[in-house]
């Protein structure tokens, strides 16, 4: 492990740090990222690798299943503290929540059994944040296999949910990424920034199996347009 860490840093220093002295000199005086990114801890979906963010461009939080708890769940202050710092101190202009294919956290959410002993000390309580996404997924795909349900729950841009439930607020009640986006708007300082036009919320879904990325904008009214590339 020590040798891997050494080689990794030496390569970074040679290929990046030493090649951009002006950038790192500027970063030494402070950070002014335009983006905050909330992504999964999954080792296959590093947001700085996928979206090629450079040092100083993105303030990043990673957790199980890229979830944002609502503000009233004070038992999860880590993500909430990062949000407050990013919006009120760093004045980021964009928050991007990225979901991904074959997410273990979503599988844990979708396979939870009611009224049984817990099998984990922390995971089950954490993924409960996504319970609204689970409910909508099961209502729409109750007869499907678990793998299909997980994909539905992960993939926040699935238009079949819209057609099934004919929701006016298209994305506000469904799937894991959109639950997190809706929870973001429950923070007063985020809702105020979005309403004033100084902050924009974005959703993303990275499918590393097929090598695609879906993107959508998320506003106060929940409306969204999806682009896939």
Query: pLDDT by residue (tens digit) across 55-79?
Result: 999 999 999 999 999 998 767 889 9
Handedness of CA 127, 133, 135, 138 (dihedral sign): negative
pLDDT score recorded for residue 15: 96
Phi/psi at 113 (5° precision)? -105, 140
pLDDT score recorded for residue 148: 64
100 is in an annotated binding site: yes
pLDDT per residue of the chain (229 residues) written in tens, 0 to 9? 999 999 999 999 999 999 999 999 999 999 999 999 999 999 999 999 999 999 999 999 999 999 999 998 767 889 999 999 999 999 999 999 999 988 888 888 888 777 778 888 888 889 888 887 777 777 666 667 777 666 666 554 334 333 333 333 333 333 788 889 989 999 999 999 999 999 999 999 999 999 999 898 988 876 667 888 9
202 is in an annotated binding site: no
Phi-psi region of 217 (alpha: psi -120 to 50; beta: other; left: phi over 0): beta
Handedness of CA 109, 115, 118, 119 (dihedral sign): negative
153 is in an annotated binding site: no
Domain boundaries for CATH 3.40.1050.10 within the chain: 31-228
What is the model's pTM? 0.85
103 is in an annotated binding site: yes
Hey, what CATH class is 31-228 in? alpha beta
Q: Dump strand ranges (E) for 52-172.
A: 58-63, 94-100
């Amino acid at each position: 492990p020590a040798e891997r860490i050494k080689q990794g840093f030496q390569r970074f220093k040679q290929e990046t740090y030493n090649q951009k002295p002006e950038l790192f000199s500027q970063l030494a005086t402070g950070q002014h990222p335009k983006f905050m990114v909330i992504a999964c801890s999954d080792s296959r979906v590093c947001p700085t690798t996928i979206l090629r963010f450079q040092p100083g461009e993105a303030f990043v939080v990673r957790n199980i299943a890229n979830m944002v708890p609502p503000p009233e769940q004070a038992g999860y202050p880590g993500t909430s503290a990062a949000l407050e710092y990013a919006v009120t101190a760093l004045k980021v202009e964009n928050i991007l929540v990225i979901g991904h294919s074959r997410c273990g956290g979503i599988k844990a959410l979708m396979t939870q059994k009611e009224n049984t002993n817990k099998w984990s000390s922390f995971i089950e309580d954490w993924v409960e944040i996504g319970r609204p996404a689970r409910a909508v997924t099961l209502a729409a795909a109750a007869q499907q296999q678990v793998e299909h349900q997980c994909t539905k729950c992960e993939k926040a841009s699935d238009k079949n949910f819209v057609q099934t439930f004919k929701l006016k607020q298209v994305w506000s009640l469904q799937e894991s990424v959109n639950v997190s986006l809706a929870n973001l708007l429950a923070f007063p300082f985020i809702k105020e920034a979005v309403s004033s036009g100084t902050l924009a919320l974005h959703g993303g879904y990275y499918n590393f199996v097929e090598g695609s990325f879906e993107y959508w904008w998320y506003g106060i009214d929940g409306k969204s347009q999806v682009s896939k590339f």
